[in-house]
Structure 1
Amino acid sequence: MPYALALGLTLLVEVPVYSVALPALGRVSAGRALTAALLVNCLTHPPLWWFLTSGFPSGAPATGTTSAAYPVVLLLSEAAVWLAEALLLRYGLGLRGPLPYALSLTANTASLLLGLLLVP
């Protein structure tokens, strides 16, 4: 999958999750929620993509590999993105408690599942 398509699908899934939930649950204005949704994805998606396509520890791309290690690498990478986005939401928007972690988990799980469904 080309990078632009992967980023577009990620934004298509995650931006609505953040844009709807943050104003409803986090008392964040709609404009700040949209900005935060775009910002967290633009900060985390490029490094994740780089790591999975060219930064795999063996030196070979992780994507497209039949290596048994790929699912583990993918899940650990997604976990890092989840935590990074949650922390960005927490400190960037001043959110407290489990909300930024739950929203990030929801948004990232949804986009990961869509990606897994679209890429065999």
Structure 2
Amino acid sequence: MSYPAALALTVATEVPVYTAALAAASQAPPGRTAGAAVIVNCVTHPLLWWFLRHVPLAVYWPAFAAAEAAVVLVEGWLTARLLRLRGPAPYAASTAANAVSVLAGLLLL
């Protein structure tokens, strides 16, 4: 899969999850929540893509799992800051959104 296709798939799958998951936790309008989701993906996705391109095949899956866990934490933190949220909601939303996009990517392999 090309990088633009992977980024498009990630944004298309994660933004609705973030928006739905944070609807109750955030006083922000859905458009602002969706915008925050796009921003956090534009920060983390290029770094994840670059990192995974340089991982040897022998350790790809453990590196993939560790990298995705780091992405979940970074996106949760950034989402909390962008939407001025406290507590576990941005991290739960990040976990759910990234799980959906990983599953979508795996299904398209």
Give the structure-1-normalised TM-score: 0.84
2:25 maps to: 25
Higher helix share: 2
Q: Deviations over 1:76-108 (max 9, x none)?
A: 000010000000011221111110110000000
**Which deviates more, 20-29 or 108-117?**
20-29
Give me the identity figure in percent: 50
Aligned equivalent of 2:61, options 50, 71, 76 = 71
CA distance in 1, matches of 2:14, 2:52: 19
Q: Deviations over 1:9-66 (max 9, x none)?
A: 1011001111223233322212211110110000000000001113x3xxxxx4xx3x
Task: Report how many residues are paired.
Answer: 109
The residue type equivalent to 1:33 in the other structure is T
Larger Rg: 1
The residue type equivalent to 1:83 in the other structure is L
Unaligned runs of 5+ in 1: 57-61
2:6 pairs with 1:6: yes
Aligned equivalent of 1:103, options 93, 96, 103 = 93
CA distance in 2, matches of 1:24, 1:12: 21
Give the structure-2-normalised TM-score: 0.92
2:34 maps to: 34
List, as ranges, runs of 4+ consecutive aligned residues in structure 1 with deviation greater than 3 Å: none
CA drift of 1:112 comes to 0.7
CA distance in 2, matches of 1:11, 1:110: 11
CA drift of 1:117 comes to 1.6
CA distance in 1, matches of 2:32, 2:79: 11
Larger RCO (alpha carbons 8 Å, 6+ apart)? 2
